[in-house]
Each structure stands twice: as C-alpha cells, then as structure tokens.
Amino acid sequence: MSRYRGPRLKIIRRLKTLPGLTSKRPKSRNDSINRRKISQYRIRPEEKQKLRFNYGLTERQLLKYVRIARRAKGSTGQVLLQLLEMRSDNIIFQLGMSPTIPGARQLVNHGHIRVNDHMVDIPSYPCKPQDVITIRDQQRLRAIIRKNIDLFQRDKLPKHLTFNSLQYKGFINQIIDSKWISLKINELLVVEYYSRQA
C-alpha cells in the first residue's frame, strides 16, 4: 500500500489529533452523533493508523520498524517510538523548520538538509545524539525556513533538541524520552496488533 496522499482533515476527524500530519483543525461538530461504543477489535488498528498517518509511513515501513524494535533491548513500544522520532524528517519538523512532517520530508528529499555537513536526501535517515542539523546555504531557503519558524514555532522545543535560530542550526542532545513525544498514543496496542499478525 502506498503512502496516503488524500484529504488530511478526513483522517484528523477519524483519528483525532495528529500533530505531524497537518496544522489545520477540523471545524467542531457535535460529537453526540458519533457516540457508538468502540469495540476492542477497533482500538488496536486505530492506534496503528495513528502512527502510520502521523509519521507518513507505509504499512511495510511500519512493520520493518516494529521488527527492529523487537530485536532491540528495552520495551518494544518505547524503542519503536524512539526510532520513529529520530527520523530526519521528524527532527526537522520538531525543530520548527517545517509546519508538518510531509513538508519536512520534502525539504529532505530535495537535498536542502545537511547532517554533520553531509547532504541527506533520505527522510528515514536515523539521526543520533550529537548530530548537527543545518540547511543548505541559500537565501530563498533561509527565508522560507524563517517564515516557518515564525509561524509554526512549537510551544516548547523537546529537551532532546536545541536550535540556534540565527545560524539555522539544530543539535540533537540525546535520544528522546517518551514524555516529550507530542503524539498521544498507546504504543503497546501497536505492538500487540503486530504480534497477532506475525
């Protein structure tokens, strides 16, 4: 299944808040219309879909991340979220250089982002602690990123990141802690969903 390119507000109405998918919010409707009881079979796939749509992953990519997280030491759900949060497109989004993760993915794909002074054009590039994120030196690109930083500056920058707005330089201090993840999700349900699949 390919990456979702359809209407984003439709997904937001169904799955609620996904900070990486879009900065728009749906018009408030009367929620009494949709008060059906949520079945136990629906909860796990919905949590999985939240991860997929928020980070812009295909089903195959998410399954690959779950398999990597299973092999790693520690809680599988926590490791899965850390792997997704340390992707280069998500780091660009968290630094405020882009309003959404799809926008950050486009910046990375077009070769505008440098990690440790090496051009990175793969959005799934895994960033590590002590990495330095910079942009290509172009005046037009700096103006676009300045506008994004001014408009979409996050309330608080996560503690694992620091950003120098004068030099357009981000720094990864450490691996993210689960309390700094902006997406509200029960990652154990995602792991359960995939354990039933395999």
Query: Residue 134's beta-bridge partner residues?
Result: 114, 169
Q: In this predicted model, which residue has the larger pLDDT, 15 or 59?
A: 59
Residue 3 lies in a domain: no
Per DSSP bridges, beta strands 169-172 and 132-135 are antiparallel
Q: And the tokens for 93?
A: 């989004």
113 and 107 Cβ atoms separated by less than 8 Å: yes
* Nearest CA-CA partner of 62 in 80, 76, 85: 80
The model's pLDDT over 180-189, given as tens digits with 9 standing for 90+, comes to 777 778 888 8
pLDDT band at 68 (very low <50, low <70, confident <90, very high): very high
d(CA 56, CA 91): 14
Is 106 inside a domain boundary?
yes
Q: Cα dist. 1→52, 58, 59, 65, 195 in Å?
A: 12, 6, 7, 16, 20
On the question of pLDDT at 114 being above 80, the answer is yes
Can you spell out the DSSP letters for 118-137? Answer: EE---TT-B--TT-EEEE-S
- The domain of 67 spans 8-28+37-83+183-197
Q: Are 112 and 93 members of one domain?
A: yes
Percent of the chain with pLDDT over 70: 78
CATH number for the domain that contains residue 94:
3.10.290.10
In a domain, 2, yes or no: no
CATH number, domain containing residue 191: 1.10.1050.10
> What is the overall mean pLDDT for the chain?
80
pTM: 0.81
- CA of 31: how far to CAs of 27, 134, 139, in Å? 11, 43, 46
Question: What share of the chain in percent tops pLDDT 90?
Answer: 9
What confidence score (pLDDT) does residue 32 get? 46
Q: Are residues 91 and 139 in the same domain?
A: yes
**113 and 41, same structural domain?**
no
Residues 187, 170 share a domain: no
Q: What is the pLDDT of residue 4?
A: 67
Looking at the structure of the chain, the number of domains it has is: 2
